[in-house]
Structure 1
Amino acid sequence: MTWRFILKQLGMPPGSLLLLLLMAWLLRKRMPKTATGLFFITLAALYGLSMPLVTQQLASHLENQPALTQDRWPQLADQASAIIILGGGREPADPAWAADQPSLFAVQRLRYGARLARASSLPVLVTGGLHFDRPPSEARIMADTLQQDFSVAARWLEERSRTTWENARFSAEILQPEGIATVVLVTDAWHMRRARWSFEQAGFQVIPAPQGFYSANPDKPLGGWLPESRAFWQNTQLLNELLGLWLYPVLYAR
């Protein structure tokens, strides 16, 4: 798991851009034209990844599921048997809490899932395993937050998964023996395509419940051409998601 994490960090921005700059510097004397080309490629990539306009374009490609309108929330009980909230990472050992906490992504998913659960009275499964083999599981952290902050109890905890594919596979092992075939799936809008595909491959019928839309950004200064640090962070996530969307059918398609 550690090597996988390291390779991912070096293969995606900003790690990959730093490696390109290092190569340009090392080649500056022996291959000056190549070094100059690498430098300008890195500069262009840095600028492109920092533009909100690029965020909106990438997100529009990924976010193909519409939001659930609030008038549909109470009707979910007639259409599904459970709500599944996907993990979104953790913040380790925050001194304010004296314990690991859900990441901002996970909190947004939990908040939305809690609203859906209260409106529909559907039971909830939270899914997420250990990070670097360190307990508690992400699902346990999510369940505690769901109960303490949103007054919603998670009926099931899936605590083994490390990827979206495993989220689906191990959730199926818990829910399908109980006869649950249709689920409401809660995750970020830009993650929903890959998540829905994974859960459908695991045998579920999925009602998408996306939130956290990046494509709905309001108008930006200079039409989104002005670089922003937030856009760089979001575009890096979106590139990772596009890569996963391409790789998952290659690795896991039945």
Structure 2
Amino acid sequence: MILALEKIIASFLLPPGIFIVLNFVFLIYLFKNKSSKLIRLTAVFSLIFLIFLATAVGARVLVHPLENYAERNLVEVSQKYPIVVLGGGSNYYSAKKTTPSTHSLQRLVKGYELHRSLKTPLIYSGGVAIGQQNISEADAASEFLQDLGMDLEFYFSETKAQTTFENAAYLRKWIKQHQVKKVYLFTSAYHMLRSMTVFKAQQIEVLPVHSGFIYNHKLSWLDYFPSRGALNANLTALHEWIGLFWYYLKGRI
């Protein structure tokens, strides 16, 4: 009980909870000073939206539908098809050193596990991040897999893609060149809906295998207090929904 109380207090002393508290105090000030209706409505909306993004309320709306889609479409791995792993970002230390991000590592490890089981080619798609240079995500992935003991004879890299759409477009060329019928598609659960939609639009037949979830699905009452985990997950999911809408507007899906 004491630990739970500490977590509740901490949730309002640290971001994003502290911003909710400050927003609430500011809202009281606006109402006491009879500020304009528009300003008060804007402040109320901002507070509600922040609570939505910082708690499990947002996760139920934004994160869960994406990850439930990935779980429903999860295939049973049995047949030998090439393994496609989509890049999830890199952490750049210097111009010559970078490591795969947490999401990339999750995808890589799951893909490598399947590669060890099936002994099929593994293709990693990920270019150089905008604002960076020299080292692509695929290059960083190659170093990581080599450290794990992978025979790079089975490794193929796609080093140009910077978006999910480009992942599919560039991989389509490799798939046609190697006369591949299907591929296992490895990405995070939250990213699977957009990935599958884009790959299908490129007429690539995929067998989806997600690398895991970014937020609780079995929620506890503590999840309804503000937390960085909820905020990060909800912002990530919001990016996916906006990305889907943008691709629809651009005619890419």
Q: TM-score range by the shorter chain?
A: 0.7 to 0.9
The answer (yes or no) to whether the contact 1:129–1:137 under 8 Å persists in 2 is yes
Change (3 A) 1:50 1:174: same
Alignment partner, residue 218 of structure 2: 218
| Post-superposition CA distance 1:187-228 (Å, at most 9, x none) | 001110110111122221110011222465333234x32111
Superposition pairs of residues 70-149 of structure 1, within 5 angstroms? 72-73=76-77, 75-77=78-80, 80=81, 82-93=82-93, 99-131=97-129, 132-149=131-148
| Post-superposition CA distance 1:143-181 (Å, at most 9, x none) | 111221353535211111110000010111122111013
Alignment partner, residue 164 of structure 1: 164
Q: Aligned partners of 2:88, 2:215: CA distance in 1, in Å?
A: 19
CA apart distance, 1:43: 1.2
SS of 1:88's equivalent in the other structure is: coil
Answer with 1 or 2: which has the greater Rg.
2
CA apart distance, 1:186: 0.2
Q: Aligned partners of 2:200, 2:178: CA distance in 1, in Å?
A: 17
Length-normalised TM-score, structure 1: 0.78
| Post-superposition CA distance 1:124-153 (Å, at most 9, x none) | 100011112511111111111122135353
| Post-superposition CA distance 1:20-52 (Å, at most 9, x none) | x8xx99xx89x7322222122111111111112
The answer (yes or no) to whether the contact 2:55–2:227 under 8 Å persists in 1 is yes
Unpaired stretches in structure 2, ≥5 consecutive residues = 1-15
SS of 1:186's equivalent in the other structure is: strand
- Asked if 1:60 is matched to 2:59, the reply is no
Alignment partner, residue 7 of structure 1: none
Q: Name whichever of 186-195 and 154-163 sits farther off.
A: 154-163
Letter of the 2:234 partner, please give it. N
Q: Aligned partners of 1:200, 1:194: CA distance in 2, in Å?
A: 10
- Asked if 1:42 is matched to 2:40, the reply is no
SS of 2:161's equivalent in the other structure is: coil
Question: Over the residues paired in the alignment, what is the CA RMSD in angstroms?
Answer: 2.7
The answer (yes or no) to whether the contact 1:114–1:150 under 8 Å persists in 2 is no
SS of 2:210's equivalent in the other structure is: strand
Change (3 A) 1:240 1:152: farther
Unpaired stretches in structure 1, ≥5 consecutive residues = 1-13
Q: Aligned partners of 1:249, 1:68: CA distance in 2, in Å?
A: 24
Q: Percent identity?
A: 26
Superposition pairs of residues 222-241 of structure 1, within 5 angstroms? 222=222, 224-241=223-240
Change (3 A) 1:155 1:167: same
The answer (yes or no) to whether the contact 1:56–1:215 under 8 Å persists in 2 is no
Q: Aligned partners of 2:181, 2:246: CA distance in 1, in Å?
A: 26
The answer (yes or no) to whether the contact 2:215–2:229 under 8 Å persists in 1 is no
Change (3 A) 1:120 1:56: farther
Q: Name whichever of 210-219 and 244-253 sits farther off.
A: 210-219
The answer (yes or no) to whether the contact 2:198–2:252 under 8 Å persists in 1 is no
Q: Aligned partners of 1:40, 1:250: CA distance in 2, in Å?
A: 31
Q: Aligned partners of 1:136, 1:181: CA distance in 2, in Å?
A: 31
Q: Name whichever of 167-176 and 146-155 sits farther off.
A: 146-155
CA apart distance, 1:229: 1.2
Paired positions, count: 222
- Asked if 1:204 is matched to 2:209, the reply is no
Letter of the 2:226 partner, please give it. P
The answer (yes or no) to whether the contact 1:57–1:215 under 8 Å persists in 2 is no
Moved over 4 A (4+): none
Change (3 A) 1:150 1:199: farther
